[in-house]
Amino acid sequence: MSYHALSCLDDAIEATKAFLLPVDRSQWLRLAVVVFFLAGGSGLGSLPSVGSNVTPSLATDAPTGVPTTLPDVNLLAVLAVGAVFVALGLCYTLIGAVMEFVLVDTLRAERVAVRQSFREQFRRGLSLFLFQLGLLALALAILGGFAVLVFLPATSGGGGIGLAIAILAFVVAFFLFALAVALLNLLTVDFVVPTMLVTDRGLLGSWKRFWPVVSANVEQFVVYLLVRIGIVIAVGIVGGTVTGVAGAIIAVPFVLVGAIVVFTTGFSLSPVVLALLGLLFVGFLVALFVVVALVHVPLKTYVRYFQLLVLGDIDPDLDLIAERRATLRDTTT
């Protein structure tokens, strides 16, 4: 029995080369915009709980010269800043969900039209975003309920052994549940997204269309998952290495200019100098983001071609790149 995930590895390389070479600067830059929202992620930290006009209970006994009250903190401003970061993270994730469809649509049409494709695929991307958001909320709710059921009895009289067992049970359950959620999300992004484009169905309807394919080809998808893990590791190593080298090279002029600024101002960290250094740092970050996106253009293109080739081999009715596949197979035979 031949496994499509193995036979498609080389075909995906050839498809990527055929699509990206010879290098078209405009095409690569537009693809870099798409990949920018697919290659990264955003994390949100927790905000500390603070209050305003907090007065120590022994304020009258405070030593002379020590303030008797803590400085006022505008809780509304803190919450507003937190809300802005949350909103930015959600917008980034929403755009990334739409860009999943934009990339697949681009490889299907073999032309890069980001703005047009974004408008056409926005509703599908929104449904993917809501699905992922709902999946995350459901996962947190289930894990939170399980944590209460496990830890509440253990902390109310189970002793140290009971608490240790509760922690172990929660860790195991968390790992298994997180694995299941990650697998569901991976199959959705890798295969249900192109299924939505082929069948012109919604996300849930596409899952109903795709699920019989999974149940009838379990071995193929198990091998795919194993190969996919290897690809993730390889792409991470290649992308990280190239990005690290490129980042070091890009940093050189910014560091030199920063050193000149500090040296010519007599090592003074005045507000003007700090502002200039801040602008240099922002410029470095922008340049680094551009390089990271460009580096990941061929990597992300390869991964998506690999997924489309595997899906089309398993179920020809879901093949989005039939012409490209025929060209590849005619060339190799």
pLDDT in tens, 153-176: 666 655 567 677 778 877 888 888
Q: How far apart are CA 214 and CA 211, in angstroms?
A: 5
When pLDDT is averaged across residues 3-31 and rounded to a whole number, the result is 94
Residue 190 Cα to chain centre, angstroms:
13
| Average pLDDT over the chain, rounded to an integer | 85
pLDDT at 332: 59
Is residue 188 over pLDDT 70? yes
C-alpha to C-alpha distance for 110 and 106, rounded to whole angstroms: 5
Write down the pLDDT at residue 297.
94
Q: Is the dihedral of CA 241, 246, 249, 254 positive or negative?
A: negative
Q: Taking the alpha carbons of 125, 131, 133, 135 in that order, is the dihedral positive or negative? A: negative
pLDDT at 143: 81
Asked whether the predicted pLDDT for residue 178 surpasses 60, the reply is: yes
Residues ≥6 apart with Cβ < 8 Å to 260: none
Q: What is the DSSP letter of 45?
A: P
Q: Longest Cα pair distance anywhere in the chain, in angstroms?
A: 90
Instruction: Identify the pLDDT of residue 329.
Output: 81
Which one, of 42, 102, 26, lies nearest residue 301 by Cα?
Answer: 102
- CB-based burial of residue 261 (10 Å sphere; 0-12 exposed, 13-18 middle, 19+ buried)? middle
Give the number of other CB atoms < 10 A from CB of residue 291. Answer: 18
- Looking at residue 206, its pLDDT comes to 97
Beta-carbon contacts of 173 under 8 Å, excluding residues fewer than 6 positions away, are 143, 146, 150
| Among the listed residues 117, 175, 109, the one whose alpha carbon sits nearest the alpha carbon of residue 146 | 175
Query: In the predicted model, is pLDDT for residue 328 greater than 60?
Result: yes
Region 26-52 average pLDDT: 64
- What the block records as the tokens of 108 is 């299907």
Summarize the confidence of residues 41-47 as an average pLDDT.
32
